[in-house]
Amino acid sequence: MCIRDRFIGSSVALITPMFDDGVVDYDALNQLIDFHIDAGTTAIVSVGTTGESATVGVKEHLKIIDHTIKYSSQRIPIIAGTGANSTSEAIDLTKEAKRLGADACLLVTPYYNKPTQEGLFQHFKSIAESVAIDQLLYNVPGRTAVNMTVETTARLAEIDNIIGIKDATGDLSVIKQLVKKCPEDFLLLTGDDATAVDFLISGGHGGISVTANIVPKELQKVYLAAISGQSEKAIELNSKILKLHKNLFIESNPIPVKWALHKMGKCGKGIRLPLLELSNEFKSIIERDLKELNLT
């Protein structure tokens, strides 16, 4: 199996379940891991944006990754979120993820400090050269205030252990350019649920999804249909969860998805400041979506 094939299809940007006081609930995490293995999810991303990487400390970040790897026991690939806005910190996190046994690492573009395109290239190049583990780039300008261009991505794609990108721009012109300019075996993953089907139809290989937290089995069917060229089937299947794609971002991610999983009985309501529990005005919207999908 080639590198790319391991990550084709629907992977989940897994939440980090917490008790009401914000303490990580490892029993609930175990249940979520089993839930995704049973559903046929392609891979789990541990402590990415949806996993609240911004509010866990470094030791806790690595503890969650370590627990996820050990509990999954090679039953599903684990992609560790190890990005940082400091290159040295990202290298340290990536080294530790490799030591813990992660299958790959997901590295977000440095946030807040707004590097140039050459700065982005040198950042990711340094990490790749420092740690011999498969690495996925992650471009999400709506979160980071920096957009990595297709040209920079294509340069990075020439580095052996940079195996792909999670593109969460939601801009479908980007996937078309990536297909043209990146090597054929460079993994193109969507990080935008609302446009995922069009992304996959346009040449994408899979995605890392928030919606997959809620309907992993159903989303995998959507993705595999789109990837295999069954466009009409993918669109039809996706139509049943379109509202969920939209409403899981009715407030900042992961606020709505954590509330949805709580209502499904899969975790508590815990979330860490500065994020709060879903606002009362939106709870009925999420609960309606779940009811329509027979999830509550």
Per-residue pLDDT at 292: 97
Q: How buried is 27 (Cβ within 10 angstroms: 0-12 exposed, 13-18 middle, 19+ buried)?
A: exposed
Q: Strand, helix or coil at 84? A: coil
> Could you read off the pLDDT of 96-112 as tens digits, one per residue?
999 999 999 999 999 99
Q: Which residues are catalytic?
A: 138, 166
pTM, two decimal places? 0.97
Angle between helical axes of 280-292 and 255-263 (0-180°, round to 10): 60
Q: Count other C-beta atoms under 10 Å from residue 67's C-beta.
A: 17
Q: Which of 165, 241, 239, 237 is nearest to 203 (CA)?
A: 165
Per-residue pLDDT at 2: 57
Q: Which residues of the chain have pLDDT under 70?
A: 1-4
Supply the DSSP string of 39-52, one letter for each residue. Answer: HT-S-EEESSTTTT
Per-residue pLDDT at 256: 98
Per-residue pLDDT at 31: 98
Per-residue pLDDT at 5: 82
